[in-house]
Amino acid sequence: MSHVTNHRTSGWVTGLAYFAGSIMTLIGVFSSLAGITAISRDDVYVFRGDYVFRWDVSAWGWVHLAVGILVFLAGLAVFSGQPWARAVGIVLAALSAVANFLFLPYYPIWTLLIIVLDVLVIWALTMYNRRAADSTALR
């Protein structure tokens, strides 16, 4: 015997998923642009202070470009409401936060802003649970 229960998903939950997808696409675009800038003109970023994780700026550019493209695509996938997209989004937002933490001495204020947005995306995606995704796919 099966019975159908009509449970109503909170607007907050759906709104958080839209928020996460939107912010992820923006982070992806911004990271890609920062990566392209670092690849094409590595004199734009100036290393500040003595920091353990010091790489060539062009190498950071490739890292930010790759992470940016992946975060952008994952942000688009979050709009589908699929659980795998949420999991991938959480992992990529965490990867973006770590990459930006390591890039901190090159562009401190910007990287702190992106880290805060990554944390908000992780929070929003963890609040958007599977039951909510099943009941209201974001299409």
109 has a pLDDT exceeding 50: yes
Question: Could you tell me the pLDDT band of residue 1, with boundaries at 50, 70 and 90?
Answer: very low
At residue 59, the pLDDT reads: 83
At residue 61, the pLDDT reads: 86
At residue 132, the pLDDT reads: 54
Residue partners of 67: CB distance under 8 A and separation at least 6:
31, 35, 92, 95, 96, 99
Range 67-74 average pLDDT: 95
Q: Where along the chain do its domains lie? A: 12-43+54-132
**pLDDT, mean over the chain:** 81
Q: Note the pTM of the prediction, 2 decimals.
A: 0.78
Cα–Cα distance for residue pair 136/6, rounded to 1 Å: 12
**Is 79 or 138 the better-scoring residue by pLDDT?**
79
3-state secondary structure of 35: helix
pLDDT tens per residue, range 7-51: 455 666 678 888 899 999 999 999 999 899 888 886 666 666 666
Cα–Cα distance for residue pair 96/16, rounded to 1 Å: 19
**Is 12 or 125 the better-scoring residue by pLDDT?**
125
Q: Which two tokens stand for residue 87?
A: 């999991």
138 has a pLDDT exceeding 70: no
86 has a pLDDT exceeding 70: yes
DSSP state of 80: T
Residues 102 and 53 sit within 8 Å (Cβ to Cβ) = yes
**What are the backbone angles phi and psi of residue 54, rounded to the nearest 5°?**
-110, 110
Measure Cα distances from 81 to 37, 46, 65, 86, 118 in Å: 33, 40, 25, 8, 19
